[in-house]
Structure 1
Amino acid sequence: MDTFEVLISIFLGIGLASAVGFRVFLPLLILSLAGYYDVIPLNESWQWIGSFTAFITLGVATLIEIFGYYIPWFDNILDTIALPLATLAGTVVMVATITNLDPVITWALAIIAGGGTAAAIKGNASAARLTSSTTTAGFANPILTTVETGISTLMSILSIFVPIIAFVLVLVLFFIIFRFYKKLRKKRLSKT
């Protein structure tokens, strides 16, 4: 495998991991569909994710997750369990998409880049939902849910078909998160 293919598979995994940060099962469903139709190569040990059974199972889980976020009290419960699930799913999508690399390198990249990306984005999405719940009594949560689902879908599709653009968008997301926390820190320091 040449260097360019390795980079593309890493960009694909990071893009999908960022999408997992918004919705846990939707990117896995899109990955399963892409694997099923041989749009992308899957790691030998992870061929099962491209099976019809995995596709159906992930489809059901995706529908439950998406519709669950539209129930005002249930969305906060989902966010509580979604952070560890997103970290795990981010690691899984990274391992599944990196092919022909040493397993030690693959798992290190998966845990750090995949799990780390998914956890960082999920943590911020959960914080946004909590803020929305407390400031709008949950009335803005359906709008936030729709936006998050849309971003997850877009990032998943871009990751499959144009992984370089998806990776650039991940960098933009991290820049926005960095700027937000920098402003927040400034506000805290100015109050003390």
Structure 2
Amino acid sequence: MEYLLSGALGLALAACSGFRVFVPLLAASIAYHTGVLQPSAGFAWLGSWLAVGALGTATVMEILGYYFPVVDNVLDTITTPASFIAGTVLMTAALPDLDPMIRWGLGILVGGGTAGVIQTGTTLLRAGSTFGTAGLANPVLATAENTLAVVGTVLALLVPVLAAGLGLVLVLYIATRLRRWRRQRMHQRAAPLPKT
């Protein structure tokens, strides 16, 4: 179950980095810094104050930058390879202790690949918007991408917690049902047999 939740978290954060590179990195950094999540071996640096500060600054600059004509297209050129790297880091950092070769392989293929595909799609969409509307629709597109990055990141962080909560509720429900069944069986054994 740990591998499933960790993989789902890493994949979701990697996907969000395809919309905005630094939003999920900042969220992961804050979660690691506060101890809400534990990074895998070698990624403790992601939870440092320096990382939180640098990623916070980069997040604000990236979000605002997409609202300026021409800058948004330049940012797409820069963030396409950066999103692949971010997706790789987020996926690899989320995975529990695995063989480093497997962890990095999954990080590159699944995390980096997912982020890269989404970023490529948004880059092509923005290029079409720039060409078709002379850039007038680009701020609307930027708002949609910002929203998807933030909401997706929040959901990615909450889903494992919700899944664990649902798992706990399921365990408690089954334990209660088993206890009732056991009491009923004991009660049936203790009841006198009907006379013939």
The TM-score with structure 1 as length reference comes to: 0.82
Query: Which residues in structure 2 correspond to 1:153-192 (within 5 Å)?
Result: 153-163=150-160
Counterpart for residue 119 of structure 2:
122
Deviations 1:31-90 (A, max 9, x none): 001111111111120011111111010000011111111111110000011111100110
**Contact persistence 1:70–1:142 (CA under 8 A):** yes
Contact 1:17 1:93 in 2 (8 A): yes
In structure 2, C-alpha distance between the alignment counterparts of 1:40 and 1:130, rounded to whole Å: 37
1:156 alignment partner, SS class = helix
Indicate the structure whose relative CO is greater, using CA pairs within 8 Å and at least 6 residues apart.
1
Unaligned segments of structure 2, at least 5 residues: 163-196
How far, CA to CA, are the matches of 1:69 and 1:81 in structure 2?
A: 12
Please show how residues 40-59 of structure 1 align to structure 2 within 5 Å: 40-59=37-56
Out of 73, 96, 101, the position equivalent to 1:76 is 73
Distance across 2 between alignment mates of 1:30 and 1:137: 34
Q: What is the match of residue 98 of structure 2?
A: 101
Structure 2 equivalent of residue 134 of structure 1: 131
Identify the residue that residue 179 of structure 1 maps to in structure 2.
none
Matched, 1:39 2:36: yes
State the secondary structure of the residue aligned to 2:136: coil
Q: Work out whether 1:110 is the aligned partner of 2:72.
A: no
Distance 2:70 2:160 in 1: 35
Deviation at 1:160, TM superposition (A): 1.2
TM-aligned CA distance change 1:164 to 1:14, over 3 Å = farther
* Aligned match for 1:10, one of 7, 12, 16: 7
Following TM superposition, by how much is the alpha carbon of 1:117 offset from its aligned partner in structure 2, in angstroms? Answer: 0.1
Q: Hey, what's the Cα distance between the residues in 2 that align with 1:38 and 1:139?
A: 42
Q: How many residues align?
A: 162
Q: Structure 1 residue 163: deviation in Å?
A: 4.5
Percentage identity across aligned positions?
44
Cα offset for 1:9? 0.6
Deviates more, 1:155-164 or 1:67-76: 155-164
Q: TM-score, normalised by structure 2?
A: 0.80
Write the distance in 2 (CA, Å) between the matches of 1:100 and 1:93: 14
